[in-house]
């Protein structure tokens, strides 16, 4: 039932931004708050139909917010859905307590958060004196669960809201007023997408065509070969560019460059068909993702790469042709590679970007045709950016060297670590830097750093203290 108001309370700016984007696109009115205290104030102002609430926050945690809501006569009936990285542990404990009706575990997909909100709104719709809606508990067979108030018996169907002539006159006047407002707004560079949406709902087809003609598009037709959109990553984060290309269903090539590294992202109808890179570290090469899928051993891949002649066909195509991979296995590896490259450029806070609008994509992108949804990639990418902020407090650069705490490892037991964590732990020897561990493990820097961060937190490893030169 799009149109209802949802309040999102979370201390992560990226989570707030993405959830707001996803739910607004689904038709909900979304308000956000960065902590529990601000959330309670926003709840009083917005009178939300439901609340999405993070559990771990400064000032007031999720439990304290729920307790305050339960003690507030105006807010005690608002359904709350808990969001937590430990949703299955925290959520099950608090569901059915003080207004918490459901929980969702981070990270979640756009589809998952939208489904939870739609389900909660449908099941726990609030009583409203304005529209006469009321929840009918249980319901009788053949009778709707949500009913509206009956009109007064003396009022005829055709008389509701005034005569047809009066209604038509009011509509004409309303359209004229909306026309004036929207045409005036165009000179203020109102987002053409917003104009189009408003026009589609409120205006006739003829005027909508006129309006969209006057709306200056973001992507003006450039001269042949010139970028339609370009800028500095310090001023415009790449996430904003990706969202814009998605919203406008653009087709073309987005090039993002930082120093000697460059990533090309190929778009078709606002979706990502492929990402390719130059000058990046080995962790972003296709071989890593083939090894991750365990369809080929490291020894076999290394032997194949050594026998490969320079300038030969694409690696993936050769492996499929020789029977090392199936088409499906290659596609999955390319999807992982593309997503990882997008996650990487989301971290770049300096550099340049340029988008060239074209429907003539290179054959490699046409062949891949991944059609990846940007919102889903951004949701995971923003989650990683948040985690990177935590990790970088302990691992501020990749030249750090760690030592293994053998006593702690023996006491805990290696059986409690995952296969990947064990592989990283074995590479911690007092000599390998983080950079070298990433290279030898053939894993991504994010995954390796995350595992090192965990091993540090449970004291299985420690920093090597370099001797001070005398």
Give Cβ neighbours of residue 407 (< 8 Å, ≥ 6 apart): none
CATH number of 5-123: 3.40.50.2300
Instruction: Domain ranges for the chain, please list them.
Output: 5-123, 166-214, 229-378, 395-463
Bridge pairing between strands 100-105 and 461-463:
unpaired
pLDDT exceeds cutoff 80 at 369: yes
Give the model's pLDDT for residue 63: 80
Q: Exposure of 316 by Cβ count < 10 A (0-12 exposed, 13-18 middle, 19+ buried)? A: buried
For position 174, what pLDDT does the model report?
52
> What pLDDT score was predicted for residue 179?
54
Mean pLDDT for the stretch of residues 268-294: 90
Q: What pLDDT does residue 315 have? A: 84
Rounded distance, CA 320 to CA 318, Å? 5
Question: CA dist 340 to 69, 275, 285, 349, 377, Å?
Answer: 40, 9, 10, 17, 9
Mean pLDDT, range 187-209, rounded to an integer: 50
Query: CA distances (Å), 409 to each of 248, 434, 454, 465, in order?
Result: 53, 19, 13, 20
CA atoms within 13 A on the CB side of 451: 21
Angle between helices 374-394 and 13-25 (to 10 degrees): 170
Quick one: which H or E segment has residue 242?
helix 238-247
Q: Is the pTM of this model over 0.85?
A: no
Q: Specify the pLDDT at position 258.
A: 94
Query: Looking at residue 177, what is its pLDDT?
Result: 54
What pLDDT was estimated at residue 267? 96
Q: Are 171 and 164 in contact (CB under 8 A)?
A: no
Query: Is the pLDDT confidence value at 324 over 60?
Result: yes
Share of the chain above pLDDT 90, in %: 33
- Specify which of 103-112, 139-148, 181-190 reaches the highest per-range mean pLDDT: 103-112
Report in angstroms the alpha-carbon separations of 348 from 256, 257, 258, 325, 341. 9, 9, 8, 33, 11
CA dist., res. 346 & res. 253, Å (int): 17
Tell me what pLDDT residue 187 has.
45
Show the tokens assigned to 450: 């995350």
Structure confidence at residue 380 (pLDDT): 84
Residue 365 — very low, low, confident or very high, per pLDDT cuts 50/70/90?
A: very high
Place of tokens 């053939």: 442
User: For position 299, what pLDDT does the model report?
Assistant: 84
Tell me the β-bridge partners of 401: 433
| Low-confidence winner among 109-123, 156-170, 353-367 (lowest mean pLDDT) | 156-170
Give me the chain's average pLDDT, please: 78
pLDDT band at 178 (very low <50, low <70, confident <90, very high): low
Confidence of residue 255 (pLDDT cuts 50, 70, 90): very high
Rounded to whole angstroms, the Cα distance separating 273 from 113 reads 25
**Burial 344-360, CB ≥16 within 10 A → b, else e:** bbbebeebebbbebeee
Give residue-wise pLDDT tens across range 94-106.
566 667 888 888 7
Looking at residue 368, its pLDDT comes to 93
Fold of the 395-463 domain: Arc Repressor Mutant, subunit A (1.10.10)
């Amino acid at each position: 039932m799009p149109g209802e108001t949802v309040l999102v309370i979370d201390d992560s700016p990226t989570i707030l931004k993405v959830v707001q984007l996803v739910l607004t696109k689904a038709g909900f009115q979304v308000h956000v708050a960065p902590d529990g205290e601000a959330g309670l104030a926003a709840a009083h102002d917005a009178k939300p139909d439901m609340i999405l609430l993070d559990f771990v926050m400064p000032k007031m945690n999720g439990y304290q917010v729920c307790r305050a809501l339960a003690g507030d006569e105006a807010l005690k009936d608002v359904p709350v859905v808990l969001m937590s990285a430990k949703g299955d542990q925290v959520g099950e404990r608090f569901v059915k307590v003080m207004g918490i009706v459901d929980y969702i575990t981070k990270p979640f997909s756009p589809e998952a958060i939208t489904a939870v909100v739609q389900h909660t709104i449908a099941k726990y719709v609030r009583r409203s004196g304005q529209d006469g809606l009321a929840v009918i508990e249980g319901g009788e067979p053949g009778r709707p669960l949500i009913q509206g108030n009956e009109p007064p018996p003396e009022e005829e169907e055709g008389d509701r809201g005034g005569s047809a002539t009066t209604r038509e006159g009011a509509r004409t006047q309303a359209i004229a007023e909306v026309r004036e407002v929207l045409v005036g707004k165009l000179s203020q560079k109102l987002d053409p997408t917003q104009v189009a949406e408003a026009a589609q709902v409120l205006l006739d087809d003829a005027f909508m065509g006129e309006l969209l003609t006057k709306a200056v598009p973001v992507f003006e037709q450039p001269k042949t070969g010139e970028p339609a959109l370009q800028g500095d990553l310090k001023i415009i984060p790449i996430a904003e560019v990706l969202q814009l290309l998605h919203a406008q269903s653009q087709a073309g090539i987005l090039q993002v460059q930082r120093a000697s590294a460059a990533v090309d992202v190929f778009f078709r109808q606002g979706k990502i068909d492929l990402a390719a890179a130059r000058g990046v570290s080995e962790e972003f090469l296709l071989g890593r993702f083939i090894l991750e899928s365990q369809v080929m051993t490291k020894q076999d891949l290394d032997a194949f790469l050594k026998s490969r002649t320079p300038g030969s066909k694409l690696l993936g195509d050769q492996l499929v042709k020789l029977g090392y991979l199936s088409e499906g296995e290659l596609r999955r590896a390319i999807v992982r590679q593309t997503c990882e490259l997008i996650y990487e450029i989301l971290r770049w806070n300096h550099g340049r970007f340029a988008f060239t609008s074209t429907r003539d994509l290179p054959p490699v992108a046409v062949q891949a045709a991944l059609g990846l949804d940007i919102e889903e990639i951004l949701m995971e990418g923003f989650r990683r950016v948040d985690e990177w902020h935590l990790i970088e407090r302990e691992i501020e650069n990749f030249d750090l060297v760690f030592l293994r705490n053998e006593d702690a490892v023996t006491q805990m037991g290696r059986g409690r670590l995952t296969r990947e964590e064990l592989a990283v732990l074995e590479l911690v020897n007092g000599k390998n830097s983080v950079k070298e561990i990433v290279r030898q493990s053939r894993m991504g820097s994010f995954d390796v750093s995350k595992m090192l961060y965990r091993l540090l937190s449970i004291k299985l490893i420690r920093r090597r203290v370099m001797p001070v030169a005398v």
